[in-house]
Structure formats: C-alpha cells, structure tokens
Amino acid sequence: MAGVLRMREAAAPGRSGTARGALVRLVLVRLAASFAVLWGAVTATFVLLQVMPGSTADVLLARSSVTPAIRARLVAEYGLDDPLPVQYLTYLGRIARGEFGESYVLRRPVWDEIAAQLPDTLLLVATTLLVTVVVSVLAGLLSVNRRAWVRSLFAAAESLVVALPPFWLGLLLLTVFSFTLHWFPAIGSSSPAGLVLPTVALAAGPAAVVAGVLREGLLRAMEEPFVVTARARGIGEAALRLRHVLRHALLPVTTLLGWIAGSLIGGAVIIEIVFSRQGIGRLALSAVANKDMPVVVAVVLVTAVAFVLLTITVDILTWVIDPRTRDAGR
Amino acid sequence: MTAEDPLVAVRDLTVRFPVRRGEVEAVRGVSFRIGRGQIVAIVGESGSGKSVTARSLVGLAGEGAHVAATELAFDGIDLRAVRGRGWRAVRGRRVGFVLQDALGSLDPLRRVGAEVAEPLRAHGVVPAREVDAEVVRLLGEAGIPAPEGRARQYPHQLSGGLRQRALIASALAARPDLLIADEPTTALDATVQRQVLGLLRERVGHGTAVLLISHDLGVVAEIADHVYVMKDGLFVEDGPAARVLESPSHPYTRTLVGAALGRAARPRVTPGGSPREVLRAEGLVKEFTLPGRGAFTAVEDVSVTVRAGETLGVVGESGSGKTTLGRLLMGLLDPDAGRVLLDGRPWDGLRGHARRTARRGVQMIYQHPLSSFDPRYTARQILEEPLRAAGTAGRERAVRVARVLEHVGLSPAVLDRHARELSGGQRQRLAIARALAPEPQVIVCDEPVSALDASIQAQVLDVLADVQERLGVAYVFISHDLGVIRGLSHRVVVMKDGRVVESGETRRVLDHPAHPYTRALLDAVPRFAVRGRLRSRA
C-alpha cells in the first residue's frame, strides 16, 4: 500500500488518458459478457415456450379447421416436428442472422410490431425515470437536514407509496383527474397530456424507494469528515449538499435506477392496460398468451439488450461519479 | 501584538453535549488568548476537549452542542452572537481550519484543486478566472511538488503527507488571520512531519496566527509560543512553551512530557524466543504495474526470518515497501519472485483449504482497527468469526473468546458492544484479541499504535509484550516510529525503496547505524530540543 501510494505520486500528471483507456476496456468486457446474457435469455425463452402447454401448430391454425394433410405440411414447414436440438439450433441460427420472422398470430414481421410499440414504451420509461430522479432527489435533499421526526414522516410516506399497487394508483388517478376533473385524457398514447397520469402511477413506487435510499446515502455522507472541512471553508448548506454530499449519495442510486429502468420496459404492462396504452409490455403479454413464439423471443431480446445497455450506462456513470473506481482495474 | 488587542479572546468557555440521559460537559470553563502572528498550542490526550474547544471558534463544536462563554471574541467580533449564515463570513475567510484526519477531510469524489478552490470561490477572494492559477500557487506554497498535476488528481492518488499539505493549502487559501490546525502531523512520518511544521512556521512569518491542537508535546515544543495543557475539559497548566516543557508543574503535564521523551512508552523487550524459525522469506520481489506506465518495484529482493516468540521490527518511511512486505508475509499478495515459508512450508504451494488452514498461523493487526471490523458486528461476533472459520464448536468458542479477552485485558462487558462504541485503545486491544483467537504463531502488526495517544500507545504495547511473553507468539512489527521499534523489537530491518538497507540486533542497528539512511532516519526524529530553544532565545 505504501509502495502503491508512492508509485502514484511518481506518476503524477496526465493520468486521465490511461484511466479513459481503462473505461474503454471495461465497456468492451461488458459487451462481450452481454453476448452470454443475450444467449442465456434466448435459450431460456426457448425452453419456457417448449414446456408451456398447447402446441404451436394449434396457434398457427387457430382460426381455421384444416385437413390433416395441410396441418402436416405446416408442421413440416415450420420444422415443428424436428427433434428439439435441431429446432433449437435452427432457432439460434435465425436469431443470430436477425431473422425473427413473422408473428404467428398477427401475420406481420415481428420487427414491424416491435418498432410500432417501442417508442411509446421508451417514452414512458424515460418520463418515469425523469420524474423518479427529480422527485427523489428533491425529497432526499429536503428531508435530510430536518429533525428526526420529520425524516420519519418522509420515511412513513415513502413506505405507504411503495405499498400502493400501481394499477390501483392508476385507477385512482384516472377517477380523479380524468373522469372527475377532466384534466388529463383517460386513454391513448399519442398526446403528451396522455403521458402524465401513467408516468405518475409508474414513478410513484420507484421514486419513494429511491428517495429512501438517497436519504440514507445523504445521511451517511453528512457524517464524513470532509463535510466538516467543507463547512469550515465557509460554504453554504445548499452548496455543501449539491457539491459534496449528493454525489456520494448518488452512487448506490445509479445502480438502483438502472435496474428500475430495465424492469419498466417489459414490466409496465399493467399500467399500459389501465391507461389503454400501446407498449412492449402489452405486446409481450398477448404474445405469451397466444404462444406467439417469434414475438416473445423478440420482446425478450429487446428487454435483455436494454438491460445490457443500462448496465453499461450505470458503469459509465459510476466511473464518472467516483474517481476511485477508475484505478480499480489495475 | 499587544495583550490588550488579541486576535482571539476566550473566557470561561463551556461546551455541553446532550446525551441519552442528561448532558456531558466536554469543555468546562477554559480561557485563553491568541495574539496576532502567535502560535498557541492546546495539548492533551484524545477526549480532553481540545478539539471541541478549537471548533467552538468557528461554530462547529458539533451537533446539539451548547456553547457558552463570558467572552468569545475573534478580532472584535462577538462570536456568541453569530448565527447560521453569519458564520460563513468567519469560516474559511477569517479562520482557516485544518481538521484532524487528513485521509477523510478531502472529498474523495472531487479533484484536489476543486477542494482548494472552494474557499476562494465561496468568499470571492480572487476573480473567477484566476482561481485555477491561484490554486496552483497555493499548492506550490504548501510545498507540493508539481502542483499543476496534483490539482487535477483525486485525494486517493496522493500520499498522506501530500493530502495533509493540500488540506493546509485549502485552509490558507483565503489568507485567514487565524489557522486552526487539529493534529496536523499525526500519522505522518518524521520527515513529512517536519515539512508540515515548517509550513506552519512559515505562515506565521507572514502574520498568520496559529492555534495548534496536538497530543504530541514533541511537535508542540518545536513551534509553539504558548502552551495550554488540557485534561478532562479544563486547562491544568499554561505558560510559554519553553517553561511548560522545561519545568512542568502539573503532574499531568509531567506525564505528557515524559511520554514525549519516550519515558511512558517504554514497552518491554521480552526475554526473546527460541532459535526455531516460524516465518522465513527468501528473495521476495513484488512489482506493481500501472496501466501505460510500466512497473514499479515495491519490494526488491527482501529476505527475513522470524523466530518463535521474538519481534522483528520493520522500519522505514512511507513508501519504503514496509506494508507490501507485510502483505507478502501474510500471503495476501503473491510475490513475483522468492517465497514465504511458514513453519518450513511455502505459502505459494498451498491452495484452497490448505492455504486457509495455514493462514490461521499468521494474523494481522492494522493501524486503523475500526475499518478492519464489520460495523454491524459486536465485539463477540468479531472475535468468534475466525474461530467459526476454523470450525471451532460453540462451547469451545465461548471459552476461547473469554481467554483472548483476558490476554488483552478487556472486560467481558465489551462483548456486546460494537467497535465504534469502544475507545481507540479498546479497539486496538480487540484487534489484538481477534488476531490471537486462531492461535497464530506470527502476528504482522502494521503501524498498530501510530494512531493512538502516547499513554494509550504504552498500554497497547504493554499488552503486546504480555501476550508475547505468555503465548510465545512472534511479531513482525511494522512502524515508522523508531521509539516504538526500539522498545519492542529483538531484531530490526531498515527498508528504503523496497530494499533492506540494514538489519541486525535492534540495539546494534539503532545505536550504531552503519547505513547513512538509518542515520538519517534517526536524525529526523523530532527531538525535545527544549534546552536548545532556550539557548537560542536567550
């Protein structure tokens, strides 16, 4: 350790170049690892769909009664009677080439379907994240230097909000703000006003959780010796919180936010239904119910890719926030 | 600098803190003055109230503190009337504060330059576009080499001495009239300590007054004009530094003077061990690579042997490779060349279970025990963990815990407390007890007493000597403190730049050093040059 310290001294200026190199390496390693994640996700999907009851041929033939000969031709065409390993490898090969095929049910290319739904979902996730961050940072900063009972009040309110089921909150918001006050539309994905209520319903829980974590982080950081030093320099309490303490508290929060954003992509389904919105979650739900294999696979892949990208984003954010992690790759 | 016009005038200062039942009076009515351009020191051991006294001058005595005084004035400002925002004009601008704990006092997420710039920006000392240049100038003034590069670095990339100097630069940035320095040299080795004291003295030359808080009379003797000796919230003695140190009248001052002269911290060298070797290192080499910067050799061709029941002292300044050597001996690092043999068996040949079993034979004690304890663990859990890992049964564990507790002189009452609820001395005893629990043959002690007060230091060293006498455990004792090394070690190795430059019997090496570096180390120890001072003043 002593030796290490001295070595760092020797290597004083201009280290940022190598530190940036370390970040690039980190991202590359993450990307490589993400292929394993994607492969795992695709394989798990295949297995799950195989063990689910009902045959794919029935799905394909859902709306028509056909002769056994036609049915047999269909089965052969889709390779449904091949041995499982062969089906699996064909499936992997198609995905690797980016051929997701057509939806069994909607009879449209899967990508068209995804492309139609994704913008709505991403927009909702983005607004939800934004509201989560703004609300939790405000709540955290406002509550942290209060008396203990004020903090307990905040904590109690947060527990209550976390305990609210989002669909119930959604219905409540609809009743009050759409049906009674007519402030916001009750359905639809198109207008910005239509985004407000679903965002609130989705962000409430995460915002409450993040606010709690953030406050704990702030409280912990406020006890660090550098806080007294900063105060002794004559800076104001607001500057102390924004310049020093908040960054420390944000470290655990970034990881949490990454996870929240990832789970919202496929997990906003209940809110999408309550507010009659389009979205990936809804698409996934109907695809699973219909055993619409191509769509399910595509949704899983999109979600997995989103998680991978978010993980890398969190890594980069951590790298930006905490200089100590930059030397860790040594 | 007349007595009628002091910079700081304090009369009957009391500071009370609310505790669960009632209050604790940390400062119980102290009065002192600091003249312009004067160096005043408050000396006392931890818990004496000296830090709280100093912090009261900037309104940072602590959460819930009740500060009262019949006079509390800084340059004509009645500090008792200052509230909230009013303090901001005083803090940083008029009074610079260097807090204890250089490691934690710089925000680890911000560049050193930004930290130093903070008082400049907060008080608008220089125009915004000149801040960067001013920061570089301040860092250079504080004796930091290549200040442009340092300003862009983060605190963890700086050594302890550099961080301490950066902190002082930050406290001096707005050119305050008073600099309060709380233990500015604790945990710094002798050479750096000297540089930091030189820096303080130089500022005084520019008219800044200094309030120095320290437990180390050796430091105070070097630079203070006037000394207040504090014990249990009261000043027991004060006077010109030379007088107080030369002829202390209060028994407590005498203890402190004794400690500084190395009298109190006089641990025993135990009768010593058998010729049996328990730990042997042969030709150890350890390099660290920096991305894009090649290799740095922290330990180069080091061979040492440790015999049962003896203490091997490892001396050197920070950066000499002492700690890396300790980690290699512990098997926490693998050497690039050479090998470590424990009881004749090499570490590196062992893997998995065998390695873990062998590890019980070598334990470690750190400088900051608190950070080596799980904050959620009670003392009992801390002591039981290594036993659990060794598969000791429940009833046997309780017996062993009681035994090691007795060895280190801790009462069983501490078992249900968390480490942070223990005093510094108790924590280090707990660390020793934990190291003893797996019944090791060797304990590597890395600066185990350098963060402790002199009298506590003596107690902990005593415990170490006791344990060695009773259990025959061997120590590898890493320290920059030659006094401590001399008091405890049978043999000593002196390290510089990763190499052993001298080794042998402790007395031989320290009394008749052969290598110029050993002589330089011995010379850098702050002397109690009271007589010399008196002469120079007369």
In this predicted structure, what is the pLDDT of residue A327?
64
- Which of A66-80, A253-267, B274-288 shows the lowest mean pLDDT across its residues? A66-80
- What is d(CA A17, CA B6) in angstroms, rounded to the nearest whole number? 52
**Residue with tokens 């710094």, as numbered in its chain:** B188
- What is d(CA A210, CA B247) in angstroms, rounded to the nearest whole number? 61
* CB-count exposure of residue B68 (10 Å: 0-12, 13-18, 19+): middle
B301: left (phi over 0), alpha (psi -120 to 50) or beta: left
Query: Is residue B142 over pLDDT 60?
Result: yes
- What is d(CA B182, CA B60) in angstroms, rounded to the nearest whole number? 13
In this predicted structure, what is the pLDDT of residue A131?
95
Top-confidence range, A8-17, A302-311, B341-350, B451-460: A302-311
- Which of A160-174, B54-68, B232-246, B262-276 shows the lowest mean pLDDT across its residues? B262-276
- Which of A132-146, B265-279, B317-331, B406-420 shows the lowest mean pLDDT across its residues? B265-279
CA dihedral for A236, A237, A241, A242, sign (positive or negative):
negative
**Averaged pLDDT score across all residues of chain B:** 84
- What is d(CA B376, CA B373) in angstroms, rounded to the nearest whole number? 8
User: Tokens in use for B73?
Assistant: 């004035």
The alpha carbon of residue B88 is apart from the nearest alpha carbon of chain A, in Å, by 4
- What is d(CA B450, CA B186) in angstroms, rounded to the nearest whole number? 8
Q: Do A5 and B92 touch (CB under 8 A)?
A: no
Distance of CA B303 to the CA centre of its chain: 28
Q: Which of B405, B418, B480, B471 is nearest to B449 (CA)?
A: B480
- With contact defined as beta carbons under 8 Å apart, do B439 and B399 qualify? no
Selected for mutation to probe chain A from B85, B118, B191 (highest A CB count within 10 Å) is B118
Select the residue of B92, B104, B110 nearest A233 (Cβ to Cβ): B92
Sequence length of chain A is 330
How far from A256 is each of A42, A201, A214, A220, A248, CA to CA, in Å? Answer: 25, 19, 10, 18, 14
Higher pLDDT, B62 or A201: A201
- Which of A49-63, B116-130, B149-163, B459-473 shows the lowest mean pLDDT across its residues? A49-63
Query: Domain B36-57+86-260 falls in which CATH fold?
Result: Rossmann fold (3.40.50)
Tell me which CATH code domain A113-327 carries: 1.10.3720.10
pLDDT digits (tens, 9 = 90+) for B78-116: 999 998 888 998 999 999 999 877 678 899 999 999 999
Q: Do A243 and B122 touch (CB under 8 A)?
A: no
- Asked if domains B36-57+86-260 and B270-361+440-538 share a fold, the reply is yes
Select the residue of B90, B162, B293 nearest A11 (Cβ to Cβ): B293
Select the residue of A6, A234, A330 nearest B123 (Cβ to Cβ): A234
- What is d(CA B234, CA B24) in angstroms, rounded to the nearest whole number? 14
Query: Is residue B273 over pLDDT 70?
Result: no
Query: Is residue A15 over pLDDT 70?
Result: no
Return the residue of B nearest to A10 by Cα. B296
CATH 3.40.50.300 fits B270-361+440-538, yes or no: yes
What confidence category does residue A214 fall into, taking pLDDT thresholds of 50, 70 and 90? very high
Residue A245 DSSP symbol = I
> Residue B87: its chain A contacts at CB < 8 A?
234
Selected for mutation to probe chain B from A23, A233, A240, A320 (highest B CB count within 10 Å) is A233
Backbone angles phi, psi at A241, to 5 degrees: -70, -45
In this predicted structure, what is the pLDDT of residue B226?
93
What mean pLDDT do residues B353-368 have? Answer: 84
Return the residue of B nearest to A11 by Cα. B293
**Domain map (residue ranges) of chain B:** 36-57+86-260, 270-361+440-538, 371-439
What confidence category does residue A190 fall into, taking pLDDT thresholds of 50, 70 and 90? low
Q: Which of B78, B70, B6, B71 is nearest to B36 (CA)?
A: B6
What confidence category does residue B264 fall into, taking pLDDT thresholds of 50, 70 and 90? very low
How far from A227 is each of A230, A237, B184, CA to CA, in Å? Answer: 5, 10, 18
Sequence-distant (6+) residues with CB within 8 A of A119 are none
In this predicted structure, what is the pLDDT of residue A14?
41
Backbone angles phi, psi at A71, to 5 degrees: -60, -45
In this predicted structure, what is the pLDDT of residue B370?
81
B267 half-sphere exposure, CB direction, 13 A CA radius: 30
What confidence category does residue B292 fall into, taking pLDDT thresholds of 50, 70 and 90? low
> Residue B92: its chain A contacts at CB < 8 A?
232-235
In this predicted structure, what is the pLDDT of residue B39?
93
Q: Do B107 and A12 touch (CB under 8 A)?
A: no
What ipTM did this prediction achieve? 0.74
User: Tokens in use for B164?
Assistant: 């301490």
> Residue B111: its chain A contacts at CB < 8 A?
323
What mean pLDDT do residues B279-289 have? Answer: 87
In this predicted structure, what is the pLDDT of residue B235?
94
The DSSP-derived string for A230-242 is HHHTT--HHHIII
Backbone angles phi, psi at A99, to 5 degrees: -95, 105
Select the residue of B90, B156, B158 nearest A324 (Cβ to Cβ): B156
Sequence-distant (6+) residues with CB within 8 A of A181 are none
Query: Is residue B48 over pLDDT 50?
Result: yes
User: Tokens in use for A67?
Assistant: 């002769």
What amino acid occupies position A323? P
pLDDT digits (tens, 9 = 90+) for A287-318: 888 878 788 888 888 888 888 889 889 988 88
- Output Rg (C-alpha) for chain A, integer angstroms: 25
What confidence category does residue B534 fall into, taking pLDDT thresholds of 50, 70 and 90? very low
Return the residue of A nearest to B179 by Cα. A232
In this predicted structure, what is the pLDDT of residue A236?
87
Q: Do B290 and A330 touch (CB under 8 A)?
A: yes
Backbone angles phi, psi at B338, to 5 degrees: 85, 180
